[in-house]
Chains A and B, each alone.
Chain A
Amino acid sequence: MKKYILKRVLYSIVAILVLLFLLFLMLDMMPGSPFNDDKLSTEQIEALNEKYGLDDPFVVQYFRYLFSIIKGDFGVSYNIASNVPITDLLETRLPTSIRLGGQAVLLGATAGLILGLVAALKHNTIFDTIATIISVLGVSLPSYVFALALSYTLGYRLGWFPLLYDSTSPFISSVLPTVALSMFSMANIARFTRTEMLEVLRSDYMLLAESKGISGPKLIIRHALRNALIPIITVLGPLIVNTMTGSLVIEKIFSIPGIGELMVRSIQQNDYNVTIALSFIYSLMYIGIMLVVDILYGIIDPRIRLSKEDNHES
């Protein structure tokens, strides 16, 4: 087990290094430069390039960056927030994004689970149909459609929630973005829960449990849902990542000071350091979550772990 985990962690580290290299390479090939103001003279641009070491060869830049990242230094922003260390930018923005994403995953998972349960238990009734329609919509419509619809109805028409994020009232002003962002994971989890539950409900051990006299909520929650949950947990990982990256658009619409909004801007303005730092963080999240899922697989299903372990090791 230890060896399996160690192996997974090593793979993740290699993946991160390769990824960082690719990111660096891609940004190097991108047209333009961080200093694209029409008014800058050639001399000024040269001076700025020299100041930030952008005139050095690619390999030199890459290793310099790698070492500073290991030290926890992401460098400074070139033009989004001139000369401000990126760690300072992240200090306020990362928690905002994570909270938004966390709220959305939480809401999506809870609502999805309930929706899926209802659909499965009331199979082939009107509830099932409604739940299915909701999940189809949630999967197929992009989150910004929900964002606009919610803004127009709950925000503008009814005036229940503010349309713009306000850092002085972070909860109430994040209700609309959270709901919009949670739709995708809610729909997915609802679909999975429904399918899994239907399968479990038809299984032999449910029949056995029922014949042993277990019934009601205990039967559903302890015997059915618990077994149905295992495959759901495995899809949760990718869903969390989806939710996080989905916030790029949502943050833009609701004007939320998160990292998604920063990412979009850094790409548009060629602020290399910010783009790399944020891609790095996104990848870290993705790889981290995948690592957890991998380890979970190993724990839940011993066959995966055993097949990868060397036989002569105990």
Chain B
Amino acid sequence: MKLNKILALILAFVMVFSFAACSSDDGPAQSGDGESQGDPVTGGDEESEGRVLNVHVTAAIDSIDPALTSAGDDFEVIGQMVEGLFQCDASGAAIPGMAESYEVDPETGTWTFHLREAYWSNGDPVTADDFVYAWQRCFTIPAEYVFLFETAGIKNAAAIIAGEKDVTELGVYAADEKTFVVEFDVPCAFFDSLMFFPVFYPVNRAFAEECGELYGSAPEYYLSNGPFALSAYTPAATEFSMVKNENYWDADAVELAGLTYKVILDSQQAYLAYQNNELDVCVLSSELADLLKSDAEFLATESGYLWYMSPNVSQGGAMANVNIRKAIGKAFNKEAVCNNILRNGSVPADFCIPIGLATGPDGLDYRESSGITYNEYDVAEAQALWADGLAELGVDSVELTMIFDDEESIKLVAEFIQQELQTNLPGLTITLQPYPKKQRSDLMKAHDYDIGLCRWGPDYADPLTYLDLWTDGYTHNYGDWHSDAYMEILDKIKTVEYAVDPEARWELIKQAEQIIADESVIMPVYQNCNATLVKSDVDGIEFHSVGLNRVFKNVKVG
């Protein structure tokens, strides 16, 4: 009996203490003991010159392998460490990166890049073969963004994706160690700005082949040729760090000693941490953005995401009627959506190509030079169009179901639109139907819906990333809308003739946009904004609405 009691006590003891005990010897990879650290609250400051910037990111990073990522945050992180042929300046325009100079053959459209004297963080030179390897690798993995090679019109890319040709037939080759040549099926007018995207970044062939599947899983399995080099990282980490890459060709321009990314899902905690100086850059939720919008450190930056309602034209009926579509597009208050519901600085959208997406040959933002707007909020006009539409259809009431992603903020927007439309358009009944994102997207791709509230984020800095949405057979032409005139213009835009004539191309793009506006192919709602707090002594963070969201290379502190 006595033995049993002792045994019981031992077991109880083990139960309680085993959890604590087993962690003490095999805890997570840590550089030092907890107690040896200085003041935990000030965190980032280092004794060496320069400062480590603590940056908030709201979602964890899926991967830092340029070929494996698909999320905007991943792009941003990779973009701090790896540099492609071009990089973007503060305004989002393309400036030479790894390419010191380049020539474009006016006849064939072939680009020849002359790479600069640049080195990887392990001291290897960056060679043309690194680009050949990295680009071919995107097809073999395959990368989610491999379609950008097709968009770019690179020779045989489309055929390789379709499985008709081997990846070795991709139209890229290394003429010599420092000369990289890209051939085209169809030359691309915005090829330079496509080069910001990680799928086009170089990968050191010898190093990556040695790492195999481990590439990008830890600092020792990753190389950078950009401003920062990875110093601490584990897959799906909630915190990871980079240090200034002394091997970077433009290292003199980099003032920061490093970057620490902190993944914080709880925005309130992130804000408190920002107040506590544990963060230098903090992304705000809409509630906090509303509360803090008059703060001196508050910053609202446009993101390229356009939220819109997509009418399903393919099923005929009410949604196939232009007047009905216009009436619905005009009958709800977009200002109220932005200012009363979202409250994060988002702007009402009366356009189908967002602000800050692309800079034209005239040096102006596309939105400024196009000036085409439609579906402005106007209840009286909406009601007149509505009456016309009903008369054309020969009915006096319309019932529609609106589908959207099952998320709180989206739901609020949908409810508001429902209420506005039902009040302003007599005879209209809208039923709301939330779905998980994937299911909503599947239904819309199958053209099995009436109206869908959805968004589109740009894949590259050119209006075509939106205009393509309404072309025949495109997966995301949800409503299956079709116009011969529109297809004709779009086909023209993609020809060699216009690729080399940016002014004429820009005019064609405006014509295409005009058709979308006249036909009200989509009903735009708003363009998303990101609200951020940045410490007042931090200057020079470059925000972009497409490609790399934030660039820290030129940050000055002081």
Interface mask (B456-482 → A, CB under 8 Å = 1, otherwise 0)? 000100000000000000011000000
> How far apart are the CA atoms of A38 and B456 in the complex, in Å?
9
Are A81 and B235 in contact, with the CB atoms below 8 A?
yes
Instruction: Say yes or no: B235 contacts A255, CB within 8 Å.
Output: no
Partner of B269, one of A41, A236, A255: A255
Q: If the complex has contacts A96-B27, A155-B276, are A162 and B41 also in contact, measured as CB distance less than 8 A?
A: yes
Check A106/B16 contact, CB under 8 A, given A84-B235, A255-B239.
Answer: yes
CA distance A165 to B213 in the complex (A): 29
By the criterion CB–CB under 8 Å, are B63 and A168 in contact?
A: no
Chain A residue at minimal CB-CB distance from B74 = A82
Known: A37-B70, A99-B23, A105-B19. A172 touches B40 (CB 8 A): yes
- Contacting pair B15 A106 (CB below 8 A): no
Q: Judge if A77 is at the interface, Cβ distance under 8 Å.
A: yes
A84 close to B236 (CB less than 8 A): yes
* A109 close to B441 (CB less than 8 A): no
| B48 in contact (CB, < 8 A) | no
Question: Do A79 and B62 form a contact, CB below 8 Å, given A40-B144, A44-B144?
Answer: yes
Q: Are B28 and A31 in contact (CB under 8 A)?
A: no
Of chain B, the residue at the smallest CB distance from A232 is B12
Cβ-based interface call for B122 (8 A): no
Q: Which of B30-38, B99-107, B356-364, B537-545 contacts A (4 or more CB under 8 A)?
A: B30-38
**Chain B window 265-308, contacts with chain A (Cβ cutoff 8 Å), 1 for yes, 0 for no:** 11011001101101100000000000000000000000000000
CB of B275 within 8 A of CB of A156, answer yes
Whether a CB of chain B sits under 8 angstroms from the CB of A53 is: no
Cβ-closest chain A residue relative to B8: A299
CB neighbours of A80 from chain B (8 A): 60, 62, 235-236
A45 to chain B, nearest CB (A): 10
> Are A36 and B234 in contact, with the CB atoms below 8 A?
no
Q: A37-B70, A296-B8 are in contact. Are A103 and B235 (CB under 8 A)?
A: no
- Asked whether B264 lies within 8 Å of A299 as measured between CB atoms, the reply is no
Indicate the member of A32, A103, A109, A255 with the most B CB atoms within 10 Å.
A255
Q: What CA separation (Å) do A299 and B37 show in the bound complex?
A: 46
**Residues of chain B within 8 A of A31, CB atoms compared:** 436, 438-439
Residue A171, interface by CB 8 Å: yes
- Residue A253 contacts which of B15, B63, B269 (CB distance < 8 angstroms)? B269
Kindly state whether residue B165 has any CB partner on chain A within 8 Å: no
CB–CB A47/B142 < 8 A = yes
Contacts of A233 in B (CB 8 A): 8, 12
B21 CB-CB contact with A under 8 Å: yes
Residues 75-96 of chain A, each 1 if its beta carbon lies under 8 Å from chain B, else 0: 0010111111000110011011
Determine whether the beta carbon of B68 is less than 8 Å from that of A82: yes
Is A161 within 8 A of B40, CB to CB? Answer: yes
Chain B residues whose CB sits within 8 angstroms of the CB of A299 once the complex forms: 4-5, 7-8, 11
Contact A109 B16 (CB under 8 A): yes
Chain B residues packing against A (C-beta within 8 Å):
4-5, 7-8, 11-12, 14-24, 26-32, 34-35, 37, 40-41, 43, 60, 62-63, 65, 68-70, 142, 144-145, 147, 213, 217, 234-239, 262-266, 268-269, 272-273, 275-276, 278-279, 436-439, 441, 459, 475-476
Q: A82-B69, A164-B273, A236-B15 are in contact. List 4 more A-B contacts (CB 8 A).
A: A81-B236, A102-B19, A165-B238, A237-B15
Interface residues of A (CB under 8 A from B): 31-33, 36-42, 44, 47, 77, 79-84, 88-89, 92-93, 95-96, 98-99, 101-103, 105-106, 109, 148, 151-152, 155-156, 159, 161-173, 233, 236-237, 240, 252-257, 261-262, 265, 270, 289, 292-293, 295-296, 299-300
